[in-house]
A = this chain, B = another copy of it.
């Protein structure tokens, strides 16, 4: 997973993977059929084990606090020097290259995030934390859009010092 995450599907060879994991080549092929299958399972593992815990803050606090915490954690991650982006979103620029199942998994992943945020924003609006004139669906899109931004922007080693300020701008845009 780490190699797909850091280098992307195409630049990670099966040889690299078996060397790194110590997995047996034949067993690997028996289990996952081919490189595509392995990649797909990697995406599922990522979603279940890496991302799911990070969604907890949104599920536990489906309101402005949850959204704030989530965006904060994304931005903090993006500001780290070893930041690798998001395994899923990293591959959006390579949709032709990965299989259709993987493309679909990535889409579902982003939609899930968007709907979690939307729920939280609807509650935030009810709580008076975002203005009544705002459309929670649009703002949820905007948040996901910004997560995409962070995933790419965080790859610039320089520019990182600006990220805390970006967090403020994004939150300001939400609150309105």
Contact = CB atoms under 8 A, between A and B. Distances in A.
A97 interface: yes
A11, A93, A166, most chain B CB atoms within 10 A:
A93
Interface stretch (A20-28, A30-38, A119-127, A138-146): A138-146
Given A93-B93, A155-B93, A165 B138 contact: yes
Q: Is the interface of A mostly helix, strand, loop or mixed?
A: helix
A92 interface: yes
A138 B107 contact: no
Contacts of A156: 92, 107, 110
A63 interface: no
A19 interface: no
A138 B162 contact: yes
A152 B152 contact: yes
A14 interface: no
Given A6-B96, A146-B146, A148-B148, 11 more contacts: A7-B94, A8-B94, A8-B97, A11-B96, A92-B155, A137-B162, A138-B165, A139-B169, A148-B152, A149-B152, A151-B152
